[in-house]
Amino acid sequence: TNLLARIGYMDRSYHSHDTQFDMLVGDVRLQHQLTEKTNLDFYFYRTSFESTFTNNRAVDEKRLQGTASYLFNQKFRGRTGTSWARRDYDIVAATGRVAVKRRDNTIGVFAGMDYIFRPWFIVNLDYKYDRSNSNNSNFDYTNNIVSLGMTMPL
């Protein structure tokens, strides 16, 4: 079992804009090997990042996620997980006739399989579903993502 915890202070000062989005940031991660073949990972963080709105510069994001993996045999591993994120925008913004201080809630689930060719070369096949609900309905969306990738542990 491993526990990681960090806390800090973000001082974000824009040079040509009056937005000040200073805040406490941090993250906590708990990793646990439940059995020889099963791993669990729980993660929470809070941070700020740049918004795509020109008049709404910063986003306060809080995210909670959990994942699990199971090694079926020497070649196949399954993975699954879920996440929830809340994004709070710092200034009231107008989109069409809607003017609100935007707040998005996003949930996600994923499932994946790994094929371990060699200890240094793993092929991943993943499916991910995301659903975002905003208090400004112009930003509600659903994502369905299927991806093929590789992992090369160093």
Q: What is the pLDDT of residues 113-124, one digit of tens each?
A: 999 999 999 999
Give the whole-angstrom CA distance, residue 1 versus residue 41. 10
Q: How far, in Å, CA of 111 to CA of 122, rounded?
A: 16
- Tell me which of 40-44, 57-61, 125-129 is least confident: 57-61
Name the band, by pLDDT with cuts 50, 70 and 90, for residue 44. Answer: very high
**103 pLDDT band (50/70/90 cuts)?**
confident
Give the whole-angstrom CA distance, residue 139 versus residue 103: 10
In the predicted structure, residue 75 carries a pLDDT above the cut 90: yes
Q: Tell me the pTM.
A: 0.79
Q: What pLDDT, on a 0 to 100 scale, did the predictor assign at position 19?
A: 61
